[in-house]
Each structure stands twice: as C-alpha cells, then as structure tokens.
Amino acid sequence: MNDIGTISYSIGSGVFLVLSLVLMTGQRGRPHKMALMLASLVSAIWMAVTAYAASHPSWLVIAYLFEPLRDLALLAFLVRVLSAAYTEPAEAARYRLRTLSVLASYTVLLIMMMVYRVVSGDAIYTPAGIDFLLAGFLVMAIFGLVLVEQLIRNARAESRRSVKYLCMGLGALFVYDFYLYSHALLFKGVDPALWNARGFINALVVPVIGIAAVRDPRWSLDIFISRRVVFHTAALMGAGIYLLAMGVGGYVIRDYGGTWGMIAQVIFLFGAVLMLSILLFSAQLRASLRVLINKHFFHYKFEYRDEWLRFIHTLTSDEPNEQLRERTIKAIADIFQCPGGLLWQYRDGHRYELVANWQMPMSGAATFLSADNSLTQYLEEQEWVINYDEYTHDPGAYKGMVMPDCFSEIEDAWLITPLVFHDRLLGMVVLARPAVTHSMNWEDYDLLRIIGRQSAAHLAQLDSSLALSQARQFEVCNRLSSYVMHDLKNLIAQLSLVVTNAARHKNNPQFMEDAIETVENSVNKMNRLLTNLRSGRDPEQHVAQLDLCEVLDDVLKTMSAGSPKPSLDYQATGLHVQADRERFAAVIGHVVRNAQDATPDKGMVIIRLFKQNDQAVIEVQDNGEGMDDAFMRDGLFKPFTSTKGKSGMGIGAYETRDFIRGLSGEVEVISRVGEGTTFRMRIPISEETKNSVKSFDNTNTGKADDHRFKETAGC
C-alpha cells in the first residue's frame, strides 16, 4: 500500500458520497432509490476506511471486514430491483427474504473467516491449495454478475433504456472484483497495482449508475442543476483559465523578453486584465454564453419555474393600474433579453390600438390596425408567434399572411406575440431584436404562447376593472340624479298646490304668509339639491343629532299644503337619532306624500312616534287604497316601479329603505287593499337619550297596524 492507494480510494469514497447525497434528496418512500442510496453510502464508508488503511496497515483488516458489507449492500439493491418483476407483493417479499437470507448468511461466513485469520494468523486452504477467503470474495463477485445478468435478461423493453446503464455500472464493478480475486488465487496473493487501481475504477462507474438513476422515473431524484449556477460557474471557470493563461504568458514574456522582459510583462498583464474586465461586462458575451449553455448542457432551453416566477413578479410588482401594460411588455421581453417592445390592444371600433410601449420608440408604428386585416386574422386563427426575420426571407411560411406595410418601418422588430383571451385575439406584442439572437424552436414558441395567454388574462382584467370603475362613477351620478329628481318632483307638487289655491285664497293674509314660506322653503331646498348634484357630494354625510319631534313638526308644516292634511301622534318625546337633517326630513316627507297620494281628500294620514326596545319608531298610517301582497313582495322596494303610473318615479320607497338601513334601522310595511297602509320605520336612538325618553302611551305601542284611527294631539 502507498500514497496512490490512498488517493485512489479517497476519490472513490468522495464520488460515492456525492451519489449518496444526491439520492437523499427529493421524495421519500422510493424503495429502489433508498436501496441504492444505502449501497452508495456503505461503499463510500468502505472506500474511506480502505484509503486510511493504505497508509496505516493496521487498519487493513477493518477494510477487509467492510468489503463483504459493501458487496452485500450492492447485492441487496439488485435483489430489490429484481423483485419488481413479481406482480404480487407477497411473492416479491418472499423472493427478497429468501435471496437476502442466503446472501446475508454467506456474508457472515466471510466475516467469520476473516476474524479467524486475524485471531489465528493462519489462512484456510482447500486441499488444492486455494485460499478460502480469496475464493469467498470471488464467489461474492460471481453472485453479483449472476444478479446483473438476471436483471438485464428480465427487464421489460420499455425499461431497458435505464436498466442497461445500471447493469453496465454494477457489472463493471463485479467484473473487476472477479478479475482481482481470480488473479489473486492464481498468483497466491492480491496484486498491489490492481488493488490500488480499484478506487479509480469504482469512481469511474458512479456516473454510469447516476445516468441510470436519472432515467428511471420510479427513483424520482427530484434534483436539477440551475442554469444560473452553470452560467456563473462557467464564467468563473473561463475567467480562471484566462487568468492562468495570462500568468503563464507573463512568465514567458519575462523570461524571454530580455532587457524589456519586466516592462513587457507589466504591459501584458495590464492589457489582459483590462480585456478580461471588458469581456465580463459585455452583454453580448453573456448572452452568447447563455445560448451556448442552453444548447449544449440542458435538455430543455428554459427553467420554467424561474421563468414563471419572474414573469408573475414583473406583472404583480405594482398596483394593477394602467402601467400594467408596460410591465406586460417587459415581462415578455425579458424571456429573450429583448431591449423593448410595443403593445396593441383591441378597442371599440373594430380595431387594434397602439396602447403602450416599453423602451422602444413608437415612431413608424401604426396607431391603429383594422381587426379584419391579414395579420390580426392570422394571429387569432393560428395563435402562432411570427418571426419577422423568417417572414422577410420566406413569407409563404405563414400561409399567405400579408404583413402591414407599417411594420417594415418599426426599427428592430423581431417577434410578434399574440395575446389570446377566450380564443379571441385581445392584442399583440412586438418585441425588439436582442443583442444576440438564436434559432427559434417549438419550445420558444410554446413558452411565448403560454405567456401571451396569461398576459391577455391580466390585461383583460385591467380593462374590466377600469370599465367597472367608470360604471360605478356613472352609477353614483345616476343614483344621485334620481334622488334629486324625486325631491324636485315633491317640491314641484307643493308649489303646484300653492298655485292652485292662490286664486281662491289670494286675499287671505294667512294663506299668503304660508305660501311665501312654502316658496322660500322650496327654493332653499332646490338650491341645496343643485349644489349637491353639481359637486357630486353625498348629502347623507352631514350627520348630526336630531330631535325627532322637531323634524316631524317641520315635515308636518311642509306637507300640510297637501290633502288630506296629516296629523301628529306623539307617544314619546325626547327621542334623538344621528342622521342628516335635510335628508331625513325629505325621506319622511316622501312617505307622507305617498300616503297622501293614496288617500282620498276626506281620508286620514297620521304620523306617529313612539319608542320600542331602544328604537325610535316612526309610523305613517293612512286609510287609502292599500297594496296587495304581490306588489309589496316584488315591486314596492324595486327601483323605478310605482303604483302611480307615469306620474311616479318608483324610487321613493327604495330610497327610504336604503336611507333607514344606512342608519342601522329597518322598514316594515303593513297594507290591506281598500283599507290602507302603515309604513313603519325603526331607527336606533342615540345612547345619551335612551334613559331620558318620556312615554305617553306604552299600552298601544306598535299596535297601529289595525287601521282603526283615533283623534290625536300634538306634543
């Protein structure tokens, strides 16, 4: 034993250890992978002990004791693989048990023979003079060759692609062991050269076994080498080789440069470092290196996980505003390191508009493209990426598609990617030519098509969000306009009553005073309504604490111009709620106006106020026409549905319920056809007034729906 043996077995141990660590990654519960991992780990330990024994002869016995265990682990792995030929799990288990029992017994026998030799110092020979221990190791190699032969013979046709490499690797190990120990039996001892070379031989077969592990999907290694790691490693190795060559060149120049040697060496080293810096910062060189690595070191051109994460991060790195269009161009352009791009999107008018650009001038590009031109129809029907260079050299490759003339004026146009959403062309992205281009294949085009569909979904969502926001603005404006119009209608009705009665009561000073007050009040309300409509301000925002008695008094005064004249019935006083006074009074006025419209002039309309369960209850009760159950269920609170025909707008009840619910209250309606209606509004009273309410009649509270009217008095 010597240093060569130490180096040989150390290298073999390191390689097997790496294989063991690789097999430890990924999913658990894979019996083939676990068996190979255990065999590799035992092999690494055996070779490490043997490497140590090469320089420490006292450890040689321990190395020999580990060798049968290494052989047993490899044979156990082969048995595990062979047991997969049995369709029944019970049969496979019996096969493994029988075979491993024999192999384990034989391994124990070898270990006992080794222990005997160590203890007694004598070898055991057959009558023919054959060393039993060497013969035992030879038989172990024969066991391995038999199992390898059985494996390749019984392998299914579809699995031979991976099994053949496994058989080559393990077969090579056992063939070398067979040769080693047959040579030892023939020449009465192990050849030191063959023994020292054994570590290198074992290291050489590990890559072959690794290929088999990668090709067998049942082992599921779940490990990959990142393109980024390979790129930086290759760049680092290239820089190292360059520096090494630079150093050698510097020494050669110094030794053979004569009197100028030292100066020439300094100049050479400085120029070489400068050139290295230029190369390392060259975008074109980096792009060329990436293309070289992708073409020659990887089965697939892209790391799809990294590409997808990068793409999603670019799209979602900011708020979903209109800058999403520029981010979409950048996300697609980054796939091939394109320096810029343009985006067209479908718009109303049956055309595609140029809506965004990223680091690419829009001059020369068509602002509009018709939806029925040859390019857009081809992209929608074929959903295929157009390579402008390919189209320039062979236009017929795109099934008669004719490129618009304006595209020839776009500087550095390279790829045209369709953005398809729900099988319709939402738009397209034109990418600028990168610093280094490469031949495009199916993988490039498929990735662009998938990215294009995902981009189209994000852009469609952006358009929908913008349209929804605009629709909501119109909805707020329309809703406010409807409320204002409804209020104006009520004010016009009040003024109409004044005009109608003016001819008959114009000489009555009291009437004239009431008329002037009504007109003044109406003008003030109309001015406030117009102000709110002009500014878009929600009048419900001006919240204050209201005394319900005062509000109802104002409502009664305003609505007394109508017929029949309403009356008040206060069963509780001191009730306060939090609301906007003008809006609250208008809502109650709407309800009273509806009651008046549904009641004949000789009928009765009562406004009642009482307290129930910490709530103020306002009832407007009439003995008018009433409503049937179907209308109350399906049409009463439905906007623009009215019992008044063309004279009603149908939003009074809807507005009332919406406003009361905004105060955390609720609206109840009780009505019978021909008997009348009770419109009941429940509103929470303010906390500071809950204990200061004075009630006049608690026995009849909430009993107003029987429609029996009585004479009432004010506060």
Most confident option among 434-438, 541-545, 565-569 = 565-569
pLDDT (tens digit, 9 = 90+) per residue, 94-108?
888 888 899 999 889
Mean pLDDT for the chain overall: 79
Question: According to the model, what pLDDT value does residue 268 have?
Answer: 66
Least confident of 332-341, 466-475, 636-645: 636-645
pLDDT (tens digit, 9 = 90+) per residue, 394-451?
888 888 889 988 888 888 899 999 999 998 999 999 999 998 877 787 788 888 999 9
Residue reference for tokens 């159950």: 629
Confidence check: pLDDT of 221 > 50:
no
What's the residue count for the chain?
A: 715
Least confident of 101-110, 180-189, 371-380, 605-614: 180-189
Q: Which residue has the higher pLDDT, 85 or 397?
A: 397
Confidence bin at 190 (pLDDT 50/70/90): confident
Question: According to the model, what pLDDT value does residue 297 have?
Answer: 52
DSSP bridge partners of 575: none
Please report, to the nearest 10 degrees, the dihedral formed by the alpha carbons of residues 328, 333, 336, 339 taken in order. Answer: -160
Question: According to the model, what pLDDT value does residue 540 have?
Answer: 46
Question: Which class is domain 304-467?
Answer: alpha beta
Question: According to the model, what pLDDT value does residue 261 have?
Answer: 60
Confidence check: pLDDT of 710 > 50:
no
Least confident of 9-13, 106-110, 464-468, 694-698: 694-698
Q: Which residue has the higher pLDDT, 227 or 400?
A: 400
Q: Which residue has the higher pLDDT, 321 or 590?
A: 590
pLDDT (tens digit, 9 = 90+) per residue, 368-389?
898 889 999 999 999 999 998 8
Region 280-287 average pLDDT: 64
Structure tokens at 473: 């603005």
Confidence check: pLDDT of 617 > 60:
yes
Put residue 384 in one of left, alpha, beta given phi > 0 → left and psi -120 to 50 → alpha: beta
Structure tokens at 245: 């060559």
Any idea which fold 542-706 has? Answer: Heat Shock Protein 90 (3.30.565)
Question: According to the model, what pLDDT value does residue 238 have?
Answer: 67
24, 40 in Cβ contact below 8 A? no
3-state helix, strand, coil in the chain (%, to 5): 65, 10, 25
Q: Which residue has the higher pLDDT, 125 or 118?
A: 118
Question: According to the model, what pLDDT value does residue 702 have?
Answer: 42
Angle between helices 31-55 and 3-24 (to 10 degrees): 160
518, 494 in Cβ contact below 8 A? yes
Give CA–CA dist 667/683, Å, rounded. Answer: 9
pTM of the model: 0.41
Q: Which residue has the higher pLDDT, 30 or 704?
A: 30
Least confident of 550-554, 594-598, 648-652: 648-652
521, 554 in Cβ contact below 8 A? no
Give CA–CA dist 29/570, Å, rounded. Answer: 81
In CATH terms, 3-215 corresponds, of 1.10.3470, 1.20.1050, 1.10.405, 1.20.1070, to 1.20.1070
Question: According to the model, what pLDDT value does residue 684 have?
Answer: 92
353-366 b/e (C-beta count within 10 Å ≥ 16 → b):
bbbbbbebeeeebb
Structure tokens at 1: 């034993």
Give CA–CA dist 93/281, Å, rounded. Answer: 61
Q: Mention every residue, 6+ apart, whose C-beta is less than 8 A from residue 450.
A: none
CA 705 to chain centre: 57
Q: Mention every residue, 6+ apart, whose C-beta is less than 8 A from residue 303.
A: 224, 226, 227, 228
- Whether 304-467 and 542-706 share one fold: the answer is no
Question: According to the model, what pLDDT value does residue 643 have?
Answer: 57
Q: Where are the domains of the chain?
A: 3-215, 227-297, 304-467, 542-706
Neighbours of 226 (CB within 10 A): 12
Q: Which residue has the higher pLDDT, 544 or 473?
A: 544
Give CA–CA dist 664/681, Å, rounded. Answer: 11
Region 198-216 average pLDDT: 82
Q: Which residue has the higher pLDDT, 136 or 638?
A: 136
What stretch of H or E contains 406? none
Confidence check: pLDDT of 508 > 50:
yes
Confidence check: pLDDT of 708 > 60:
no
Put residue 589 in one of left, alpha, beta given phi > 0 → left and psi -120 to 50 → alpha: alpha
Question: According to the model, what pLDDT value does residue 228 have?
Answer: 58
Region 181-196 average pLDDT: 83
Nearest of 369, 356, 305 to residue 330 by alpha carbon: 356
Question: According to the model, what pLDDT value does residue 430 have?
Answer: 95
Region 161-179 average pLDDT: 84
Confidence bin at 36 (pLDDT 50/70/90): confident
Structure tokens at 481: 């306009």
